[in-house]
Structure 1
Amino acid sequence: MADALSAGYDAVLFDLDGTVYHGSKVVPGAPEALRALRDHGTAVRWVTNNASKAPAEVSAHLEALGLPATPEEVHTSSQAAAALLVERLPQGAVVLVVGTDSLAAQIESVGLRTVREAGPDVAAVVQGHSPENTWAALAEACLAIRAGALWVATNVDATLPSERGLLPGNGSMVAALRHATGAEPLVAGKPAPGLFTTAARDAGAERALVVGDRLDTDIEGAVAAGIDALCVLTGVADAASLIAARPEERPRYLAADLSGLSSRAELLEIGPKDGWRVTAQGDVLEADGEGDSLDLLRALCAAAWESGITEVRGVGDTARAALGELRLG
Structure 2
Amino acid sequence: MSALLERYNGFLLDAFGVLLDKHQALPGAVELIETLKREGLPWLVVTNSASRLPETLSAELDALGLRVPPEHILTSGSLLADPEHAGPLTGRRAVVLGPRESAVYAERAGAVVVALTDDVDAEAIIIADQKDLRWPEQMDQLLSLLLRRLDTGRPLQLLLCNPDLIYPVRPGRVALTAGALAAMVEAVLHERWPQAGLGFVRLGKPSPAIFEAAQRRLGADRPVMLGDQLATDIAGAAAAGIDSVLVGTGLAPAQGQVTAGAQPTWLLPSLAH
Q: Distance in 1 between matches of 2:231 and 2:256?
A: 10
SS of equivalent to 2:15: coil
Paired residue for 1:251, among 264, 270, 273? 264
Cα distance change on mapping 1:85 and 1:93 into 2, 3 Å: farther
Deviation at 1:94, TM superposition (A): 0.8
CA 1:82–1:145 in structure 2 vs 1: closer, same or farther (change >3 Å)?
Answer: farther
Cα distance in 1 between the residues matched to 2:124 and 2:102: 14
Correspondence for 1:229: 244
Larger RCO of the pair (alpha carbons < 8 Å, separation 6+): 2
Give the aligned partner of residue 123 of structure 1: 123
Q: CA deviation at 1:33?
A: 1.6
Aligned to 1:23: 22
1:217 is matched with 232
2-side partners of 1:85 and 1:96: how far apart? 20
- Residue by residue over 1:80-136, the C-alpha shift from the partner in whole angstroms, topping out at 9 and shown as x without a partner, is 234258852352111111112111101101211111226675111000223211222
1:300-319 matches, cutoff 5 A: none
TM-score, normalised by the number of residues in structure 2:
0.87
Flag the 1:256–1:176 CA change in 2: closer, same or farther, 3 A.
same
Match of 1:153 in 2: 160
Q: Does 1:194 align with 2:209?
A: yes
Distance in 2 between the 1:13 and 1:116 partners? 35
Q: Distance in 1 between matches of 2:85 and 2:201?
A: 13
Over aligned residues, Cα RMSD in angstroms? 2.1
For 1:21, what is the secondary structure of its paired residue? coil
Aligned partners of 1:21 and 1:161: how far apart in 2?
Answer: 9
TM superposition shift of 1:59: 1.0
**Identity, % of aligned pairs?**
30
5 Å matches for 1:82-93? Answer: 82-84=81-83, 88-89=87-88, 91-93=90-92
Specify the alignment match of 2:144 in structure 1.
143
Superimposed CA distance per residue, residues 238-268 of structure 1 (whole angstroms, 9 cap, x where no aligned partner): 235743241xx111010001134xxxxxxxx
Residue 132 (structure 2) aligns with: 132
Instruction: Confirm or deny that 1:163 pairs with 2:170.
Output: yes
Q: 1:34 to 1:155 in 2, by over 3 A?
A: same
| Change beyond 3 A, Cα 1:51–1:87 | closer
TM-score, normalising length: structure 1: 0.73
Consecutive unaligned residues of structure 1, counting only runs of 5 or more, are 261-329
Verify the 8 A CA contact 2:79 2:85 in the aligned structure 1.
Answer: no
2:153 aligns to what?
Answer: none
The answer for the alignment partner of 2:183 in structure 1 is 175
User: How far apart, CA to CA, are the structure 2 residues paired with 1:125 and 1:87?
Assistant: 12
CA gap of 1:20–1:90, structure 2 versus 1, over 3 A, is: closer
SS across alignment from 2:35: helix
Q: Which structure is larger by alpha-carbon Rg, 1 or 2?
A: 1
Of 140-149 and 53-62, deviating more is 140-149
Displacement, 1:137?
1.8
Query: Please, which runs of 5 or more residues in structure 2 have no aligned partner?
Result: 151-155, 191-197
